[in-house]
């Protein structure tokens, strides 16, 4: 696995390159919500528990820069901004599905009560 440069950043493996697109705590949850619906900033914020304003903004920006989502601004007051997934974003959905499924397996095997019955 030789390394390579892209966008002024060094990557060691294809895995690292992939995780740079969809890795981290929030990118997959965001893409997951957008896979079938267009959502406004505030809707995403409400839908994703515990994500902070700063993280949501920065992650949305990164996803847009990488071409996985599209940002549409409506010139009205108060502002209205919609986020939608692109074909390139849709390409990540099957991968996310696998990772999520793997996560559920691990949770089950760990004997964790999930989702927790209150």
Partner DNA sequence: CAGGATCCTTGACGATACTG
Partner DNA sequence: CAGTATCGTCAAGGATCCTG
Q: In terms of CB distance, is 1 or 77 closer to a copy of itself? A: 1
Q: Which of 8, 36, 50, 76 binds a copy of itself (CB under 8 A)?
A: 50
* 75 lies in the site for a copy of itself, by CB under 8 A: no
C-alpha angle with apex 60: 56 to 63, nearest 5 degrees? 140
Among 13, 35, 37, 57, binds DNA (CB under 7 A): 57
Which residue, 71 or 88, is less far from DNA as judged by CB?
Answer: 71
Q: Does 54 bind DNA (CB under 7 A)?
A: yes
d(CA 80, CA 49): 21
Task: Choose from a copy of itself, DNA, none: what does 95 bind? Cβ within 5-8 Å by kind.
Answer: a copy of itself
Q: What is the DSSP letter of 35?
A: T
Is residue 105 a contact point for a copy of itself (CB under 8 A)? yes
Asked if 40 and 73 count as a contact pair (C-beta separation under 8 A), the reply is: no
CA distances 3 to 8, 21, 23, 54, Å, are 13, 17, 19, 31
Binding of a copy of itself at residue 56 (CB under 8 A)? no
């Amino acid at each position: 696995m030789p390394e390579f440069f892209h966008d002024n950043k060094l990557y060691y493996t294809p895995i690292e390159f992939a995780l740079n697109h969809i890795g981290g705590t929030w990118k997959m949850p965001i893409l997951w919500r957008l896979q079938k619906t267009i959502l406004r900033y505030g809707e995403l914020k409400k839908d994703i528990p515990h994500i902070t304003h700063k993280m949501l903004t920065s992650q949305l920006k990164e996803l847009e820069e990488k071409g996985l989502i599209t940002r549409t601004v409506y010139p009205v007051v108060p502002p209205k901004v919609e986020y939608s997934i692109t074909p390139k974003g849709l390409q990540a959905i099957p991968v996310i599905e696998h990772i999520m499924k793997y996560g559920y397996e691990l949770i089950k095997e760990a004997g964790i009560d999930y989702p927790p019955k209150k």
